[in-house]
Copies of this chain bind each other. A is one copy, B any other.
Amino acid sequence: MNERGLKGLESRMRLLEAAAAEFARNGFHETKISTIVKKVGLTQPSFYIYFSSKEAIFEELISEFHSNLKKLIESKRLEDNLEHMDLSNRLAEIVENVFLFLKKDPNLTRIGFSLNPKADDLIADLTIILKNNLTTEQQFGYFRPEIDMEIVAKCISAVILHLSFIYVIPGIKDTKSLSLQLVDLFLQGMLNEND
């Protein structure tokens, strides 16, 4: 790769960015190549120098999101053995990390979770990992044994995603306090002690 390639890579990157913004705002079919290309200051045929089709650039964005997310998950795995924190703070920190990740690139997040036809599979993947972690904690006796951790994992996934879209990405709520509130809610429940 010599110096010549620099401008091309730059164009490619700008196309990816513009496409992400357009897809996130308008969805796949409502997004036109002509619009993407106009935002970048190029013409239609230039697009096809860098991407073989509209599907191709969309797939690339999705797989970028997918691999970023995988990276996050892997890194969380490594912290499994951090036993020096109490359960509540450990969980809150993980939740906050997910929030921060989803907030980092809102366009990709929207594409990866709302537009991606395989979003359900992706969520299911995450849920499985979450379930495994929770089940381990349960076996250690932290959680009530009668709870079905599969359901809990699905609930937590749904909540994190939804709150990301309505609170975190718009920047309405602080991720730290939101994470703590969430963990508190799921751990302690809503009921008042003095019933």
Chain A residues close to B by CB (< 8 Å): 27, 29-30, 120, 141-145, 147-148, 151-152, 154-155, 157-159, 161-163, 166-167, 178, 181-182, 185-195
Contacts and interface: CB of A to CB of B under 8 A. Distances in A.
Contacts of A151: 163, 178, 181-182, 185
Given A141-B194, A158-B162, 7 more contacts: A29-B30, A151-B182, A154-B162, A155-B162, A162-B162, A185-B186, A189-B191
Given A181-B151, A190-B152, A195 B142 contact: yes
Contacts of A162: 154-155, 157-158, 162
Contact of A159 (B144, B147, B159, B181): B159
A154 B147 contact: no
A189 B186 contact: yes
30 contacts: A29-B30, A120-B166, A141-B194, A142-B192, A142-B195, A143-B190, A143-B191, A143-B192, A144-B193, A145-B192, A147-B185, A147-B190, A151-B163, A151-B178, A151-B182, A152-B185, A152-B190, A154-B162, A154-B166, A154-B167, A155-B159, A155-B163, A157-B162, A158-B159, A158-B161, A158-B162, A159-B159, A187-B189, A189-B190, A189-B191
A181 B148 contact: yes
Contacts of A166: 120, 154
Contacts of A148: 181
Given A157-B162, A166-B154, A144 B192 contact: yes
A167 B153 CA distance: 13
- The listed residue with most B CB atoms (<10 A of its CB), out of A143, A159, A178, is A159
A120 B155 CA distance: 19
A181 B148 CA distance: 8
